[in-house]
Structure 1
Amino acid sequence: MQREKAKKNQIVVTMSILLLFLFSFIISSFPVYARSPVVVIQPGHSVGYDPGATNSSTGITEAAVNAAVAGKVATKLKQLGYTVYLTHPVAGCSVQSLLTNVEANSLSNVANAINKIKPDLAISVHHNSGGSSASGYEFYWSSYRDFDQEGVYEVSGLWAGDMAFRDSSPCWAAQESKAFASVLEKNFNGIGIDHRKTVERDDYVQAHVTCPSVLIEGGFISNPSESLLLASDAFQEKMSGRIVNSVSEYFGGATKDEKAPTADSITTPESPTTNAVFTVTANGVKDDLSGVSGVRAAVWCDWNDLKWYPANNIGSGQWSVTVDIKNHEDRVGTYYIDYYATDNAGNDGYIGGETIDIVAVPSISNGVSSVRINNNQFKVYAKGFLNYSNLLFPTWSNNDGMDDIKWYQGVRQTDGSYAILVDNSDHGYDVGKYYTDVYGTDSNGKRVYLGGTTQNVEKIDDENNGMNTTSIMGLSTVSSQQLVNLYNSTGNTFPSYYTENGRNVDLNRFAQLYIEEANAEGIRADVAFAQAMKETGWLKFGGQVSISQFNFAGLGATDDGAAGMSFAQKYGDNENGIRMGIRAQIQHLKAYASTEPLNNACVDERFNLVKRGCAPYVEWLGQKENPNGYGWATGANYGQGIIDIMNRIS
């Protein structure tokens, strides 16, 4: 009998276990959802209805600053996955509101609306008013709650002329309010203004809501300088980021911002350039959650001269650094700029980089001189005025007196001279003679006349001034890397001949030599490089000119089979010979394109055989297309073939 009873009990236990397992399996088959914390943000006062504190000298209102910060906080929290509400609307913020602006004018309405949705946290965003020199932020929490009367007592001094309530046995929501105030206090440290105090006070919303709640007084609107800081987007980003991270920390840090800022692009000025000072800009720098706290850039030409520059916030997500090559031992060459950014949560990372080619200034004499760049532009140099600062270049044409005068600020060049670029579009497209004077400031602060120069800007016939002409003269707007990319895009392999036996000129160096030599004579590097590729079949040669001659444009090679000049034989079977071959080609181009003298010593033995200035345009380099009957080559569409190669540069 005992055995049968035990057997029955065993069956019951077994069935119970099976039923429990089956029940657990059924329950586990249903999805389980983790509830995200619900947070309500109250923008103190109301734009258009209740401005709050107003600074009479700056015109900044508390309501506007409250709304801006509250909107940023609500948006960031929503992006982190919180369920977020605003008590009333903020312009430009898509977060849902509990009340209209009119309804929110009643603090009773605000507290009731918050309690209705039973949130996990409520934050009131305010800014303070006091004396014109008052400064700093404050936090307020209430131990008193209207639904909990046990332990309530009155104190004076917290409100002007009125008593305040406190609770000696605060409820859970009140205790958590104090805890959240402590988190805010820690995270606001180092924000840029001082922490004044954290106060236990029965502000209406904090005393009448059932959830943890803190009121933030972010700074003093009554202080003119502080009001401007509080109204700035940068400071609002910083403050909203500190609030958001405090919320994340309060709820356990599971949704804390851990991503560094990003940027849309990094831009440099025109490259290559002879300017010794240049500015590089990071565009679209942003951090949606915590805001951007700082940006910096690493800049170097050689690893030995790497320097860090703090970037300036110029607004609209743009941060810039200005680099002076004197900080890099006045090196010329390719400068590398890498940008890094930090957010208000402390996340830091690389946001992008760019390069700029700094090249040597063409050889110029001391004094004031000008160099024609093309039919519309010329450059004026002032060299040797080391004892003067703030060089100014007033420039005007001789048409209608000095009505088009423009004062240009001199830009320091890589050789220590100062220069300006004059474009006749800045002078009403006047043609004829232009005058430039140069003034500098001496050690006594007196402006002194240093000299002057003139330059002719030619009239261009309409038939030559259309879309069908491409100037040979001009500042190079392509970089050496673009020329490298052009060559590589063809599938050709750069000849190893140029790197062997101590020549040591690879494709990167070859392209850089074209940039340097073209800039020295004011010839467009893309024109010269494209012509060389056309003449040599992308450096395969194969005709009467051989690769060993370093003759990249067939100089001296004629239709009767003459091989042409050998720059390796005359100037060395090395980098210098290669450079001289490039220089001769560019000088020959200048002979056709301009009547200006050469800046470097002439290495083109055929320079004086050219009718100077007979082909200022690429299209005119072929005799058949040149209206004057002159040209570099006799074949049809010679210039267009160069244009076709140039159009492949990207």
Structure 2
Amino acid sequence: SHANGMSDIKWYTPTRQADGSYTVTVKASDHENANGRYEAQVFYIDARGQKRFVQKAFVERNDPSKPTGVISITNNKDSGTFDVVISDVYSPKGVRTVQVPIWSEVDGQDDIRWYEAVRQTNGSYKVTVQVANHKYSTGIYNVHLYYIQNDGSQIGVGGTQTNVTLSEPKADLAITGLNNATGSYDVVISNLIAPRGFKEVLVPTWSEKNGQDDIIWYKATMQANGDYKVTVRSSNHKGDSGLYNSHVYLVDNDGKYIGLGGKQATLDITKTQGTLTIANNDKNRGTFDVLITNLTNPSGISGVVIPVWSEQNGQDDLVWHNATKQDDGSYKVTISASQHKWNSGKYIVH
């Protein structure tokens, strides 16, 4: 460069191109980042190894003396975030890191945070800002831009503002898995949007029978897919049949209850059902098995009791047997004649 005399001279070996021409790429960083006029001279080496001057050319380099960077912002009011993207990142001294201090206008700079932007594949830099890190403040946010240059110095590049708004909490509600046999249904809360955050999701539920005398506040459980779910059982509501009301509330971080809506479901409670089968009647041992399958009860099942007696002498040998639950959900009890005075003949099983 002419700015540095010949102190930054560098001899390049050009690369031959397919069309027979030769090219070389010159970087200002290899010449002390000098501005102004650059001079390029072309020599060739003859057969005797002597350098022969051919021609020279000049080019002007007028890079800006100040660093540059373009800030663009994209807001997402549902997630409570905004993206800060910095493009055209440049500094004459090079850029080691891109620093982005951000704060809301609420209460001055009490929520200021310095973010280090992450370089993207297209050469731009990005920071994703969560309003949760700024006290969930809304309104004007200040976004400034600094570079840490290659020599370790910090330099201000620019700044801008953005107006942050947050969506009100909302969700989709659905009744699923309604089962009259078990007297139950599920309340599913999906696509929940709560940019200010929340502590829990509550589902108060009651039957229409006798008002709210059976109301229960259920705490919804988060599912693997991000939905929230509550299973309502009639057994928790006096076994009532008919219309049920389920409302949904969000409890925010301040303990405030925010209504998200409600759903109704109708349970037509069925009677207890099951299939009773006699199996493995062993006359040599005097035993037989009682199997109960397909057993349902809307109020739930805590145990199964089987009264058994022989026809001889009425119910003088009546025994209430406790059936045992099997792995497949059925219940079984083995009856022995020894428990019934060794009576033979017909046995009554209820």
Structure in which a larger fraction of residues adopt strand: 2
Superposed pair shares fold, TM > 0.5: no
Higher CA-based Rg:
2
Q: Which has the higher contact order (CA 8 A, sep 6+)?
A: 2
What TM-score do the two structures reach when normalised by structure 1? 0.24
